[in-house]
Copies of this chain bind each other. A is one copy, B any other.
């Protein structure tokens, strides 16, 4: 039996803004069901018109674009609470693909109901715009990092982003967190070769900043990581949960 929106396990996480009862009720009737998928499943395909809009309920994934010559650019990593498929819902087709990196559970919404949502729940429409703008913000940061910084700085930035995200979702256990991604995923996210990614990661370990073994990232010297990442490491900015 699917999770009811009022029992959603994500609301209580520090990452999300509170929701009114009216909103939760509306989301409940807007929700079509739940989708359970295995690790490795393609959730969305670039160019395809996905009929559905998803919110990640459990598990981790990633979004990527594939270029003509087979290269892959990872755009970002998908965590619980992330919305997938908004572009398709709005523009008719996806500009990127998405894949499950672990087993996942997704809330399914019908894209056809989007128009009603804007009409009947302007606050929810506003929130959708907010989420799109926040994604734009993130991609701008990523672009600046990849366009302007060297491998060690890029890697530190990405790891700090992952860590802070996991922390805001209470997925961390002490100074470590389980993450399913391979070095190849990191390499494709950072615009680096696999070999250079490995060597850069090795350097971060050697210098006592982090460790990352058997799918578990461990924060050894967070201050140093933040310094290398040149990113703020202060309060989490909350966002609406859709």
Contacts and interface: CB of A to CB of B under 8 A. Distances in A.
Interface of A: 65, 67-69, 71-73, 75, 86-87, 90-91, 95-96, 114-115, 118-119, 122-123, 125-126, 128-130, 132-137, 139-144, 146-149, 188, 190-191, 230
Contacts of A141: 65, 95
B91 A144 contact: no
Secondary structure at chain A's binding surface: helix, strand, loop or mixed? Answer: helix
Given A91-B137, A129-B125, A230-B67, A142 B143 contact: yes
Contacts of A132: 129, 132-133, 136
Contacts of A133: 86-87, 90-91, 132
A148 B230 contact: no
B140 A65 contact: yes
Nearest to A68: B230
Contacts of A143: 73, 75, 139, 142-143, 146
B139 A67 contact: no
Nearest to A191: B147
Given A73-B144, A136-B139, 4 more contacts: A73-B140, A96-B140, A114-B126, A139-B143
A88 B15 CA distance: 20
A171 to B, nearest CB: 24
Nearest to A148: B71
Contacts of A122: 115, 118-119, 122, 125
A182 to B, nearest CB: 17
25 contacts: A65-B140, A65-B144, A67-B144, A68-B230, A73-B140, A73-B144, A75-B144, A87-B133, A90-B133, A91-B134, A95-B140, A95-B141, A115-B122, A115-B126, A118-B125, A118-B126, A125-B126, A125-B129, A128-B129, A132-B136, A136-B136, A142-B143, A147-B188, A147-B191, A148-B191
A230 B68 CA distance: 7
Nearest to A154: B147
A71 B144 CA distance: 9
A48 to B, nearest CB: 15
A115 B67 CA distance: 39
A138 to B, nearest CB: 9
